[in-house]
Structure 1
């Protein structure tokens, strides 16, 4: 879910009443990013509280074992919490508990699990996915491929074909409600409700698609630096990450994407009602976020992994219904926060010690009612291996510098003046001091990295990208 798809953030179309209420009565972090914006590395940051340099996953690669001494659910479990995840984990092996007492798993369609004989460990999809087992009990012979939509198709949409209660989004909430029933009443609990949607496939229930199909949906922003032709007709591919998509197809995809978000919002409202019925709402701290965004046609780009805000910037809301933490109602925080900050934040909220291995920080100090800027990171370094589009980027929330490691191409955006990243100002004379400053920061960030992108004096383009750093591969 991208950062701007909240009514309270000013989106002109999307309806998110329950998330708006969490933000209105809690704290919204307007400059939240996923430093490595795809599922696997982002979730490594969530689980470990670590930067990508430390947890070692700097791009998307499946089938690399997850072996971390300290994890967020593990620390909660050790502290006496009853811990549960419902939905997406995206770890390896798929049934790795990562410190949870129990996982009710639905990772979505994972190609390496489907293609059974292409991986060393034959962990076939129908052997590991709990949602699929449950769905087939309701609808014999059902499969996730029945709609003909691929999990990485961001431009093709159609409505969910079964009763809404069978949709994966409803299932996550149904199973989470059942956890409230089955949990140990003598223990506090930590529950991770992990929705696959609004990640494609774009398959909202018809009632939600109806909300947006005839809406006046604004066209995506197209920067002066964006591709404007499509000689290879990439935009016609259902799996495209770039290209000129037929307008009607794109509008349908955008409508379905927004519909999936409203669907999740309503299901979150459903869960909050039951949480109150169990008497636990005022005794629970809620954090809502996403592991990455979705470009959805911004600059004629799609999906994730790239450094632009549509891909890398996410919603991030902290709500404390019982008002035990002294958070400001309706406060909007502008400091840059990231996935690595989730683990320290929730452990801090629960009074559980934060392990030394975490290099993120608790955002509660930023969210507290007292005013004034707290000591916090001055900028964020993000990156993602992506073939020829492998990239590194830096932002303080006001400016953004991007360096494409394979070509040496640079981009610079003044986010305060140009929030949609429409103008690449890297060659503007007036900003050369800022470009030089950010380039020097990245030189230092990458100095000593195994890829050889920096010698401490300059950036070196064309070095071979590494998706998983050696200290993780060797474990």
Structure 2
């Protein structure tokens, strides 16, 4: 019997999680969370210590992954649903055209909801999507019961009718926690791995594959299986950092914004939320280990390049904030690992990279690894040279931003210093991330740091020059302009 010839291009596995902080790896010395499988990837692969989500919420972050473009070019600078995805070049499409068998399992968060974006197939679970949950004004093809593959499987496997909010927990309730109420095998994290392993079984073996396993957790609801919650619920949790710049009186009253929540929360409720959040991460870590084992059992582990990251972080009480969209490290910084089990690409195993990277670098990295031409529209850069120990010319900083009502913001960071500008008020902040990684001391008013503040401000002025909102005309920053979550060149629904 003639053996099937293996593809000569590497398989590609992109693993993304939703709302995981960049510091939540035990390999980085986190005092509580345990991530043995991700730690193994870090020890055997390359760990990028200064990886950022330039637009830290689900939709714009995924636009950067799909297109390799900056937010100015992909046009999503805030969170807005129901804006069509019509980009000319997207990662799965470029790989499919180059002969890859492409599959996504889990969260896409694109529009229309069933838009394949170049994948051959998508097994979908976006989580609780408000716009397709409404019972009025929603076309049948957009309704959640038609869009969510996980929910249909859940109802069938549970043997009785199930819905995503049956536990009583909302999808953005970052301070509410309780254990998963069904068998662990029915949890969406387990489902994503089960479906990913099933793809390994039914893939075309004559082609290399691109598999994107896209988890919804640890995004709320904070509902880990009981065994994982039990690992953390009685531990002493680290107190979130609170900067000397925080308005404590306002935090006492709170602001339950739909984008980010600001309130002073202490005691059992905060500890339970932290415990459940860390438990979800450890649960994810175990399931990622299960996926890696599946790759090994199917004989493709050593032929596969693995990239792991998150779309953004979770503030989890930092400076009394929860959720995402803000420029602080808990929200904007993400974990980022590159692992080549078969040592086929010359990566420097067990090394760390301190250069500042971002999500738009994923597309060119995977395309270069696959030997696929990188479209001119891509503005990110391949990380392979950095991971191979080379010293290529590299960006000096990342520009990030997000519309968030009165907290709409922009930031500039090189991984050592961060400058923040709130576009509605003109407020500035400056942090020394080397000496103060938790951003507790605002240096923006320090005469000693005035020249540094002005240098970073000049970078932001240049980045925002001639933006349609009118934030900058090249000489100064202009506060009070109306923020827009979607720029005009990609249109609004």
Q: Does TM, scored on the shorter chain, surpass 0.5?
A: yes
CA contact (8 A) 1:235 1:244 kept: no
Partner of 1:156 in structure 2? Answer: 176
Work out whether 1:84 is the aligned partner of 2:103.
yes
The residue correspondences of 1:2-21 to structure 2 (distance < 5 A) are 2-21=21-40
Partner of 2:342 in structure 1? Answer: 322
Partner of 1:432 in structure 2? Answer: 450
Partner of 2:85 in structure 1? Answer: 66
RMSD of aligned C-alpha atoms?
1.6
Deviation at 1:28, TM superposition (A): 0.3
String of CA shifts for 1:250-288, please: whole Å, max 9, x gaps: 100000000000000000000111110111000000000
CA contact (8 A) 2:141 2:147 kept: no
Distance in 1 between residues matched to 2:355 and 2:257, nearest whole Å: 38
Match of 1:460 among 478, 481, 484: 478
Partner of 1:393 in structure 2? Answer: 411
Distance in 2 between residues matched to 1:231 and 1:307, nearest whole Å: 18
The residue correspondences of 1:71-470 to structure 2 (distance < 5 A) are 71-118=90-137, 123-139=142-158, 140-230=160-250, 233-234=253-254, 241-370=261-390, 373-470=391-488
CA contact (8 A) 2:259 2:404 kept: no
C-alpha spacing 1:314/1:115, structure 2 compared with 1 (3 Å): same
TM-score w.r.t. length of structure 1:
0.97
Distance in 1 between residues matched to 2:139 and 2:77, nearest whole Å: 22
Deviation at 1:118, TM superposition (A): 4.5
CA contact (8 A) 2:431 2:443 kept: yes
Distance in 2 between residues matched to 1:374 and 1:84, nearest whole Å: 32
Distance in 2 between residues matched to 1:53 and 1:10, nearest whole Å: 35
Matched residue of 1:145: which SS? Answer: coil
Matched residue of 1:439: which SS? Answer: helix
C-alpha spacing 1:451/1:120, structure 2 compared with 1 (3 Å): farther
Distance in 2 between residues matched to 1:38 and 1:121, nearest whole Å: 27
Matched residue of 2:105: which SS? Answer: strand
- In the alignment, structure 2 segments of 5+ residues that lack a partner are 1-19
Deviation at 1:238, TM superposition (A): 10
Aligned length: 473
Distance in 1 between residues matched to 2:490 and 2:101, nearest whole Å: 29
Kindly indicate which of the two structures has a greater share of residues assigned to strand: 2
String of CA shifts for 1:368-392, please: whole Å, max 9, x gaps: 035xx32110111100011000001
Distance in 1 between residues matched to 2:263 and 2:142, nearest whole Å: 35
